[in-house]
Amino acid sequence: MKVLIHILIAILLFHITSFGQTSDKNYNKLKNGNNILIKEYEDTLSLLLDSINNAKFDSNKYAANESFIKNLKEVLTYKISYEHPFNLLKISKIRAGDDSFRIFNWFIKKSNGSFDYYAIMHLYNKKNNKLDIVEFINKPKKPRNINQAETNHENWFGCLYYDIIYIKKQGRSFYTLLGWDGNDDYSRKKIIDVLYFKNKEIKFGLPVFKRGKEVLKRIILEYDAKTLISLKYHKESKEIIFNNLIPPKKELIGMEEYYIPDGNFNSYTYRQGKWWFNENVDIRNSQKAKKIKKPKMGLIPN
């Protein structure tokens, strides 16, 4: 009887081990298959992006872009895609410091010299192990007082983000975004905006920028298209440092499309839950700003 029991146990263990090995093989096969699928999507997206950047006519660019959005949304539904770097895609890809989301961001440069911006947020909910995809809708008509406007993903101030600063304050998270807007042939813009979540809805613009008695929801720096400015976050000092801009002539005061750097720098320093303005800061002890080269595919945060 004891011999029979031992035989039955041995048979049972054999089947359990075999099942486990088979399950592992099936999982690895599925994972490898998904990896191949993700790479195939990436190849397709790379080709479409080439058309978006280099097609002769705007109509062809928009047709390619429509297909690009469709394919990007499809591939991002696969869980394995969240960790995939998509290195072939020469677009902006920034990831939040808490790894709760990342943003795919790009633009179409039109034949008239203006830009249309597109962004897709890829969210990962760790609690329910679920992925969400949210497309930002760029509205061409901007609010009159854009520095005080609160917007959402359906009324987005379109630009190209190149950095994200994660701040957690009293259990509430918000993300400071640094962006570039090609605007038009005459001027460029650098943007400091804030993204946060309110009742599970994506919001932009938060009254955290303190300049004297004034409190702003975002910062817009407009400058002459023929010049370059720097807008960079310095992590060690918790400072966003940027060029001071002035009009080249007195009669151009208030016409920011003509503004140029004067050699001085200002900053916003984070403390007590707000970004505080500092004028004429000494940048000699700050981190040296890296020169940003113009990538071949059109990412030009100048």
Do residues 285 and 275 touch, judged by C-beta distance below 8 A? no
User: What distance in Å separates the CA atoms of residue 87 and residue 92, rounded to the nearest whole number?
Assistant: 10
Express each pLDDT in 26-40 by its tens digit.
434 445 567 899 999
pLDDT at 173: 81
pLDDT of residue 219: 97
Q: What average pLDDT score do residues 63-74 get?
A: 98
- Summarize the confidence of residues 255-260 as an average pLDDT: 96
Average pLDDT over residues 69-80: 96
Give CA separation, 180 vs 2, 157, 220, 236, in Å: 77, 11, 10, 23
Q: Kindly indicate the confidence band of residue 286, based on its pLDDT and cuts at 50, 70 and 90.
A: low
Candidate from 43-47, 135-139, 281-285 with smallest mean pLDDT: 281-285
- Rounded Cα distance between 276 and 256, Å, is 22
The two three-digit tokens of residue 251, written as one number: 């009669």
User: Could you tell me which residue, 63 or 30, shows the higher pLDDT?
Assistant: 63
What SS3 state is found at 196? strand
Residue that wins the pLDDT comparison between 287 and 263: 263
What average pLDDT is seen over the chain?
A: 86
pLDDT bracket for residue 190 (50, 70, 90): very high
What pTM did the predictor assign? Answer: 0.83
**How far apart, in whole angstroms, are the C-alpha atoms of residue 96 and residue 112?**
34
Amino acid 158: pLDDT: 94
Q: Please report which confidence band the pLDDT of residue 73 belongs to, taking 50, 70 and 90 as the band edges.
A: very high
For 228-236, which contacts have Cβ atoms below 8 Å and span 24 or more sequence positions?
228/261, 228/302, 229/190, 229/261, 229/302, 230/289, 231/178, 231/190, 231/192, 232/163, 232/178, 232/289, 233/163, 233/165, 233/176, 233/178, 234/286, 234/287, 235/287, 236/287
Q: Could you read off the pLDDT of 90-102 as tens digits, one per residue?
A: 999 999 999 999 9
Q: How far is CA 74 from CA 41, 43, 110, 168, in A?
A: 9, 14, 26, 32
